[in-house]
Amino acid sequence: MVNYLSIDFESWAYPNLPEFITLTSEKRKILDKGFVRESAEKILKILDKYKVKITFFILGELYEWYPDVFDAMAKEGHELAYHTHRHESLTGQKVLTDSLRGSNRFIEKFHPCGFRAPEIIMQKEYLEILKKHGFTYDSSIYGPYSFKRTYGQIQEVPVSTYPLIGKPQMMFPRSLSAKLLFTEPPVGSGYLIAAFGRTIGKIYSLINKQGSPFVAFIHNWQIVPPSHALFPDAKYILMHPLYIPYMKNCQSVFEYLLSNFEISKMQNILKS
Ligand SMILES: [Zn+2]
């Protein structure tokens, strides 16, 4: 069965913290210290080793920093999808339209058809904006595969959950919450991939046995942990201990999934 594992491709310098989000693009690029390039090159090598073509959800600003990195990604046959310009939380329609405007160069160049909202926080009315900008699918809610459906020409492809208790209710947004975690764990999230390690493969096999593909994502900074990152510092970890799984090196889990499951680009889901 064909499954959909994608990469949310970011600089480590994009946590939604005020001290980072207000920095200029130039300043963030300096802080990034080439991590975007380094992680892209390493991940492309891994994907080439397993001969897998995958979808990258990319921040438009990174294309301004290193256009050649993303040209190389596309040249290798991977799908370039969109993850906003600077990892903005979509708190209103204007945030999304401004973000799309900021990423004009990236969008004109690659015509991405897929979108993923930062932190999987998406409103249904934003799908109309995506449609106007040429997108054909969105993957910004958590849910079982049975929630995949079309809203005004945009296919919504949920990131996999594994319902344990109760009957899941379709709605927007469907993001990470304590309730979701305990009743319907979002097993497709990079967070649970890190927390479960290779055991996540057993859950994905169960999903496949039930007749559905799994839809999952992991971050580039989980596969190639940045060595020089200023975030998270000890104070942040102390105040946010739930962040700790995100600090795990997931390269071996990533390779395990690539070698044990059939993985494809998200855009192919539209043909299935
Ligand atoms: Zn993200």
What pLDDT does residue 14 have? 67
Q: What is the full DSSP assignment across 173-198?
A: -----HHHHHHS--TTSHHHHHHHTT
Distance 8 CA to ligand 1 centre (A): 6
Alpha-carbon distance values, 125 to 5, 171, 176, 259 (Å): 26, 12, 20, 38
Distance 48 CA to ligand 1 centre (A): 24
Alpha-carbon distance values, 164 to 179, 180, 183 (Å): 11, 10, 5
CA 27/CA 40 separation, integer angstroms: 20
What pLDDT does residue 17 have? 63
CA 257/CA 141 separation, integer angstroms: 22
Question: E strands of the chain, at which residues?
Answer: 2-9, 55-58, 79-82, 114-115, 137-138, 142-143, 149-151, 154-156, 159-160, 215-219, 262-263
Residues at Cβ < 5 Å from ligand 1 ion: 8, 118
Domain extent at residue 251: 2-271
What pLDDT does residue 227 have? 83
Distance 228 CA to ligand 1 centre (A): 20
Distance 117 CA to ligand 1 centre (A): 7
Distance 50 CA to ligand 1 centre (A): 25
Distance 87 CA to ligand 1 centre (A): 6
Residues comprising the chain, all counted = 272
Distance 195 CA to ligand 1 centre (A): 17
Distance 188 CA to ligand 1 centre (A): 14
What pLDDT does residue 229 have? 79
Do 141 and 173 contact (CB within 8 A), yes or no?
yes
Residues forming beta bridges with residue 149, ordered by sequence position: 156
Distance 83 CA to ligand 1 centre (A): 7
Q: Which residues, 6+ apart, have CB-to-CB distance to 134 below 8 Å?
A: 107, 111, 112, 113
Q: Are strands 154-156 and 137-138 parallel, antiparallel or unpaired?
A: parallel
Alpha-carbon distance values, 57 to 99, 139, 162, 184, 219 (Å): 14, 10, 23, 24, 9
Q: Are strands 149-151 and 154-156 parallel, antiparallel or unpaired?
A: antiparallel
What pLDDT does residue 254 have? 98
* The two structure tokens encoding residue 161: 């959950």
Distance 211 CA to ligand 1 centre (A): 28
**Average pLDDT for runs of 10 along the chain of length 272:** 97 71 88 94 98 98 97 98 95 97 98 97 97 98 96 96 95 93 96 97 98 98 88 86 91 98 95 72
Distance 81 CA to ligand 1 centre (A): 12
What pLDDT does residue 163 have? 97
Give SS3 for 47.
helix
What pLDDT does residue 21 have? 74
CA 247/CA 104 separation, integer angstroms: 32
What pLDDT does residue 15 have? 61
- What is the domain count for the chain? 1
What pLDDT does residue 102 have? 97
CA 93 to chain centre: 20
Q: The CATH number of the domain where 104 resides is what?
A: 3.20.20.370
Question: DSSP letter at 158?
Answer: P
Do 80 and 47 contact (CB within 8 A), yes or no?
no
pTM: 0.96
* The two structure tokens encoding residue 249: 């090196």
